């Protein structure tokens, strides 16, 4: 591989990185737990944008067991949303790398 090809490939990689940053900012997913009792909206940077609670799980009892269950549901919904962000970004990255014609598995 000559130097000009390497420079060209590096330039394309830098452009792709900028495109991925823009794509990450636009991605929004929802994760849920407890059959939709807790819904978390997250962006591509894995920042929680919104938490929605079904009033039934918010409850007015306030017992420690209810609070612990609600905390677990929120954590689970956040993890679900983060997994979905990873899936979306992996799909975008795989598509972008395919255009680089890299040798081996990276370009597939």
| CATH number assigned to the domain comprising residue 80 | 3.30.1310.10
* Number of structural domains in the chain: 1
pLDDT value of residue 64:
76
Query: For residue 51, what are the domain limits?
Result: 27-93
Q: Where in 37-108 does DSSP place strands (E)?
A: 38-43, 48-53
Looking at residue 48, its pLDDT comes to 93
- Checking phi first, is residue 34 left (phi over 0); if not, alpha (psi -120 to 50) or beta? left
Instruction: Give the global pTM.
Output: 0.68
* Domain presence at residue 35: yes
Q: What is the mean pLDDT of the chain?
A: 83
Q: What is the pLDDT of residue 102?
A: 55
Whether the pLDDT of residue 78 is over 50: the answer is yes
């Amino acid at each position: 591989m000559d130097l000009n090809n390497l420079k060209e490939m590096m330039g394309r990689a830098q452009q792709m990185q900028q495109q991925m940053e823009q794509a990450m900012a636009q991605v929004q997913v929802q994760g849920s737990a407890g059959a939709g009792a807790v819904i978390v909206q997250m962006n591509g940077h894995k920042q929680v944008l919104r938490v929605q609670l079904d009033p039934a799980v918010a409850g007015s009892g306030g017992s420690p067991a209810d609070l612990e269950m609600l905390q677990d549901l929120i954590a689970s919904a956040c993890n679900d949303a983060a997994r979905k962000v990873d899936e979306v970004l992996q799909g975008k990255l795989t598509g972008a790398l395919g255009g680089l014609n890299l040798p081996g598995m990276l370009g597939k």
